[in-house]
Structure 1
Amino acid sequence: MAALKLVAASVPPVEDPIVIDVMVEAEGWSAVPEAEAICLRAARAALAACGDAVPEPCEVAITLTDDARIRVLNREWRSKDKATNVLSFPQPDLPDDVDAPQPLGDIIVALETLSGEARAEDKTAGHHLAHLVVHGTLHLLGYDHMTETEAEEMEALERRILAGLGIDDPYALPQD
């Protein structure tokens, strides 16, 4: 009788239809514990909250930079010669005949501005980072705050997403 030969079958990993890349471009981000993990959780939570509005497969790029770099980007793309906390650069939709993940766009976060705002608002840098990444991700999905109605809708969604991450309402007025 022939001996049975057991062959270990491996199941190929299921590829995640949402790819989020986080790049640390500037020194100092180590002062924000688990910055990359915070970015990943916040972006995934924002994408999950938007459900059917998120094309799959898709990609998001998040860059953690400094005030000097974001000031250059803000000047070049928005004609504002100053640092800001976060910039979002949505990408146009790919044509239907292109078989590739849809790049949703890029989110750029500046360390010094984030840190200063977090201190001024008595928040942890990690919670403020999560808020900025959620905010930036929503911009990539077409949300805006140019009108009062748009701002109310976007802020309500941000509050809900952040609450799901265990983060307090970033728009709440400080209690005296």
Structure 2
Amino acid sequence: MEPPGSRPPPDDIDLVVAEKAWHRLVPRVEAVVRRAARAAGMQGTIVLAGDRAVQDLNSRHRGRNKPTNVLTYQHPAPEAILALGVIRAEAAGQGRRPAHHLAHLVVHAALHLQGQDHHHPGQARRMEMTESRILRGIGVPNPWKRS
């Protein structure tokens, strides 16, 4: 019998690695995603997909025929779908580690699923501050701080 507290807390995240190249881009990708999701209080499904799958969803649901970094859906259940190529390119363009950028976007998606948004400057600033606080707690540099 294990002593109390020796097991990790239950995980309310279903993680699907639909695009296997995620394993090459981010070592221990499942651990990175789960840690960021737990830190942000996310529940639901996270799908690590390729650009084509995200482009298809973005076209069908948002009328934008291009991939985007992350899509979130509330119904029928909370879900975040992340695009490998977009995230790889963004990380490179920003001079960030892919694992850090992925963690940031998982936190970003979790906040969207909790009702936060960034359409107005005040909302955006609050969301950025929340993201940076959560990321700091898991050892990820502030994505909003300019070097």
Is the pair's TM-score, using the shorter chain for normalization, greater than 0.5? yes
Distance in 2 (CA, whole Å) between partners of 1:85 and 1:120 is 13
Q: Which of these residues, 74, 78, 94, is aligned with residue 62 of structure 2?
A: 78
Q: Which of these residues, 114, 118, 127, is aligned with residue 145 of structure 1?
A: 118
Match of 1:40 in 2: 34
Match of 2:139 in 1: 166
Distance in 2 (CA, whole Å) between partners of 1:78 and 1:149 is 24
Say if 1:90 and 1:139, in contact at 8 Å, map to a contact too.
no
TM-score by length of structure 2 reads 0.89
Give SS of 2:106's match.
helix
Distance change >3 Å, CA 78–CA 169, structure 1 → 2 = same
| Deviation at residue 16 of structure 1 after TM alignment | 5.3
Give SS of 1:119's match.
helix
Distance in 2 (CA, whole Å) between partners of 1:106 and 1:129 is 15
Structure number with the higher helix fraction is 2
Q: Which of these residues, 11, 14, 21, is aligned with residue 14 of structure 2?
A: 21
Which amino acid in the other structure matches residue 23 of structure 2? Answer: S
TM-score by length of structure 1 reads 0.75
Unaligned runs of 5+ in 1: 1-7, 48-53, 93-102
* 1:1-176 matches, cutoff 5 A: 18-31=11-24, 32-47=26-41, 59-91=43-75, 103=77, 105-173=78-146, 175=147
Say if 1:42 and 1:133, in contact at 8 Å, map to a contact too.
yes
| Deviation at residue 26 of structure 1 after TM alignment | 1.2
Match of 1:99 in 2: none
Give SS of 1:87's match.
strand
Q: Percent same amino acid at aligned positions?
A: 40
Distance in 1 (CA, whole Å) between partners of 2:39 and 2:138 is 8
Which amino acid in the other structure matches residue 126 of structure 2? Answer: E
| Deviation at residue 91 of structure 1 after TM alignment | 3.2
| Deviation at residue 124 of structure 1 after TM alignment | 0.7
Q: Which runs of structure 1 show a deviation greater than 4 angstroms over 4 or more consecutive aligned residues?
A: 14-18
Say if 1:39 and 1:129, in contact at 8 Å, map to a contact too.
yes
Which amino acid in the other structure matches residue 44 of structure 2? Answer: V
Give SS of 2:12's match.
strand
Unaligned runs of 5+ in 2: none
Distance in 2 (CA, whole Å) between partners of 1:83 and 1:158 is 23
